[in-house]
Structure 1
Amino acid sequence: MNPFVFACITPHGSEIIEELSHQNPDLMSVTRGSMEQLGRYMVEAGPETIIVLTPHGVRIDGQFCVADCERIYGEVEDNGGKVTMERAVDRELAKAIVQEAKQGGLPVGAVNFATAAGPYSCLPMDWGVLVPLWFMPEVPVVVVTPTRTVGFAEHVRLGEAVARAVAASGKRVGLIASCDWSHAHDENGPYGFDPAAAKLDAEVVELLKENQIERMAEFAPEFIEAAKPDGIWQALVLGGGIPSADRDVEFLSYEVPTYFGLMCAAYHRK
């Protein structure tokens, strides 16, 4: 069963947001158009809460992290522009996800800051959350950060735990796997060039189109290290949360406008 009213894989490059792309507004225009479409799909689905899986949130060594605070607030600056965002956190659903994950034997921690509740209970919103949410309806969120120090199988199981918690909640919930892909496309980029980047991204595109997310777990560690993606872990959580038979996949776009790959895919409810 697919408990999510809508799910998607999105990138999170800052210049997808038009206000942060002043020097070259066409740089990520293909992806921006896809993100706008994903936002329309999410609006049509009418979620009460959106879960965001991000690689750049609070990291706990050896544990999955679920934000359990009153609100999250973030700022992103680029090209002389600045955007800010604040969202309430659906703490009831966040706690339920942690409970389901713990009952499934997964290493997981609920994270808060400053006070147990109230206005000071606020964690930073990273760009992996802010950028995709920029295109989405303004509803409460749950932020989950995977950990690369546990195996791929555990990420799939986390997705299953998230799905159980969502189904039990009775709420209309959307899901975003915030994923940039290989970061070694450009010799002048911060991670340099490796031919593995284009190869891994091409394989991911095919796996998404063929509805075979789970096969990303078959990538060799050396291949992943050479290509430097940051999307596999979140994608596997999404794959665990929605059984393949319940995924109606629409692949929207792929581009490499800078040193890292950007992909957009929609998962409609069957």
Structure 2
Amino acid sequence: MENILGYYLMPHPPIIIPDIGKGEEKKIEDTSLACNQIGREIADIKPDTIIIITPHATMFSDAIAISDEERISGDLSQFRCTNIKMDMPIDKEFNIKLGTACHLEGIPSVLVTTDLLKRYNVDYELDHGTIVPLYFINKYYNEYKLVHITYSMIGDINLYKFGMEVKRVAEELNRKAIVIASGDLSHKLRNEGPYSYSPYGEKFDRELLYNLERGDVLEAFNMNKTMVEEAGQCGLNSVYILLGAMEGKEIKGELLSYEGTFGVGYGVMKLKRQEAKKNYLEELIKHKEEKLERKLSGNNPYVKLARENLNHYFSHGKSLEDTSNLPDELLNEKHGVFVSLKKFGNLRGCIGTISPTTNSVGEEIIRNSIEAAMHDPRFPEVLEDEMNEIDISVDVLMDSEPCSKEDLDPKRYGVIVSSGVRRGLLLPDLEGVDTVEEQLQIACDKAGIDFDDDYNIKRFEVVRYKED
């Protein structure tokens, strides 16, 4: 007997609520109709517990957060709406079982209380990523307890495994349950949207929804990394947990609506487990191992050198010394080099040099890869156990040239700002840096220069090498 009786992807645009939209909500009427359809379906199911995964409550970088007071409340006052309020009971028995299961399986999670959040000067409350989907459910049914989950950037496999534990706990407690992945799709569908337009936005939305409709879990987890980063979305990690809760059977999705009217993709979908058995976890782990093997045997000499150097450092306590076998391009050219380390898509270390400080690009990579891993003051030292989860990129800086603000393009050029001895650099084509003003502001902040003061500007191009 199935205990989880409904699986849904729902968006959370506050503008869809009439008191906030004030007529604008009519422009996304299909989304509203689809969300109301889900509300009625859930009312027919009459679940004991609704499990909702949100991106917008307090998020911990290293653990999934599970809200764990007796109740949780919130409103939409941040959107100038004071009459939409919710006060929901929490399924604490479910929480305790889920927290224990995660501990036993080595999945990072934490039970979140008011006292815990006070340490971080944030409130224990419902967020709009939860309130908006529940607004459509509570119209028709509210006799349920809530399991309120905020995902974390702990890696897609861990999120999937967490979803599997959600399913297991529902079965152990014999809970009649619903799982909702709250998440908007790309925020970059139009220049008039919250972010500048990216061609990756529509492509991401189309591919993710297509993969979910077909039940192609492997493809949903292995979409192009650049596309995912550039799409500016907040729903994929919620989906990873949702799919984990469906593990064990083949999956099929039904798209109820999709709209991008305001430059943000709103996808509403219900998913079902089919009769045929399927072990997706094994496939996901196997594919991840194959990706790691490609990293280790990759033919890009720049990132390959950085990884080999870090592996040598962890094995022998020192950098590579013999560079005689390096390709000529690494031995005979001199440039500044930045080495960046990312873990689960988040920056884990980045150190570089504006101009060459060694005899070759190869030596620059060797030096800066260790610096990025061990001496970036923003992060603790990288541990050897983390290396399998880290992606490495190497930026080789071309010569810089003086320019004016009008000559800049944050996607094509990096920027160096200087005033006296103060100097700040920002690489090009960084996620979230879409305008010249944003680029200059960050570079000035790094240099300790007032953005409105006079300062010198130089631009430069880079050749960026990434692991496959």
* Residue in structure 2 matched with residue 127 of structure 1 by the alignment: 128
Rounded to whole Å, the distance in 1 between the matches of 2:2 and 2:252 is 10
* Residue in structure 2 matched with residue 161 of structure 1 by the alignment: 165
8 Å CA contact 2:20–2:80 kept in 1: the answer is yes
Deviates more, 1:33-42 or 1:67-76: 67-76
Rounded to whole Å, the distance in 1 between the matches of 2:113 and 2:88 is 15
In the alignment, structure 2 segments of 5+ residues that lack a partner are 117-122, 275-468
2:145 is the counterpart of 1:140: yes
Rounded to whole Å, the distance in 1 between the matches of 2:156 and 2:249 is 20
Q: Secondary structure at the match of 1:245?
A: strand
Q: Which of 173, 177, 200 is matched with 1:173 structurally?
A: 177
- Cα shift readout 1:39-87 (whole Å, capped 9, x = no counterpart): 1111111101101000111211211111111111111147754411111
Q: Secondary structure at the match of 2:26?
A: coil
Rounded to whole Å, the distance in 1 between the matches of 2:248 and 2:257 is 21
- Which structure ranks higher in relative contact order (CA pairs < 8 Å, sequence separation ≥ 6)? 1
Rounded to whole Å, the distance in 1 between the matches of 2:71 and 2:166 is 20
User: What amino acid sits opposite 1:65 in the alignment?
Assistant: A
CA distance change for structure 1 residues 248 and 43 in 2, over 3 Å: closer, same or farther? farther
Deviation at 1:213, TM superposition (A): 3.8
User: What amino acid sits opposite 2:221 in the alignment?
Assistant: A
* Residue in structure 2 matched with residue 94 of structure 1 by the alignment: 95
User: What amino acid sits opposite 1:48 in the alignment?
Assistant: D
2:234 is the counterpart of 1:224: no
1:1-270 equivalences under 5 Å are 2-77=2-77, 81-82=81-82, 83-114=84-115, 123-136=124-137, 137-138=141-142, 139-148=144-153, 150-243=154-247, 245=249, 247-268=251-272
Rounded to whole Å, the distance in 2 between the matches of 1:242 and 1:256 is 28
Percent identity of equivalent pairs = 25
When the two chains are superposed, the root-mean-square deviation of aligned CA atoms in Å is 2.0
Rounded to whole Å, the distance in 1 between the matches of 2:96 and 2:168 is 13
CA distance change for structure 1 residues 113 and 76 in 2, over 3 Å: closer, same or farther? same
Deviates more, 1:75-84 or 1:166-175: 75-84
Rounded to whole Å, the distance in 1 between the matches of 2:45 and 2:273 is 9
Paired residues, number: 263
Q: Secondary structure at the match of 2:249?
A: helix
Structure 1 length as normaliser, TM-score? 0.91
Q: Secondary structure at the match of 1:186?
A: coil
8 Å CA contact 2:160–2:243 kept in 1: the answer is yes
Deviates more, 1:42-51 or 1:16-25: 16-25
* Residue in structure 2 matched with residue 118 of structure 1 by the alignment: none
CA distance change for structure 1 residues 38 and 201 in 2, over 3 Å: closer, same or farther? same
Deviation at 1:228, TM superposition (A): 1.0
In the alignment, structure 1 segments of 5+ residues that lack a partner are 116-121
Deviation at 1:95, TM superposition (A): 1.3
Deviation at 1:184, TM superposition (A): 0.9
8 Å CA contact 2:14–2:79 kept in 1: the answer is no
Rounded to whole Å, the distance in 1 between the matches of 2:20 and 2:41 is 23
User: What amino acid sits opposite 2:39 in the alignment?
Assistant: G
Structure showing greater Rg: 2
CA distance change for structure 1 residues 78 and 62 in 2, over 3 Å: closer, same or farther? closer
Deviates more, 1:34-43 or 1:181-190: 181-190
Rounded to whole Å, the distance in 2 between the matches of 1:2 and 1:204 is 26
User: What amino acid sits opposite 1:195 in the alignment?
Assistant: P
Rounded to whole Å, the distance in 1 between the matches of 2:202 and 2:273 is 31
Structure 2 length as normaliser, TM-score? 0.54
Deviation at 1:232, TM superposition (A): 0.7
Deviation at 1:269, TM superposition (A): 6.1
Deviation at 1:188, TM superposition (A): 2.9
Deviates more, 1:20-29 or 1:190-199: 20-29
CA distance change for structure 1 residues 192 and 230 in 2, over 3 Å: closer, same or farther? same
CA distance change for structure 1 residues 103 and 248 in 2, over 3 Å: closer, same or farther? same
Rounded to whole Å, the distance in 2 between the matches of 1:28 and 1:132 is 15
User: What amino acid sits opposite 1:196 in the alignment?
Assistant: Y
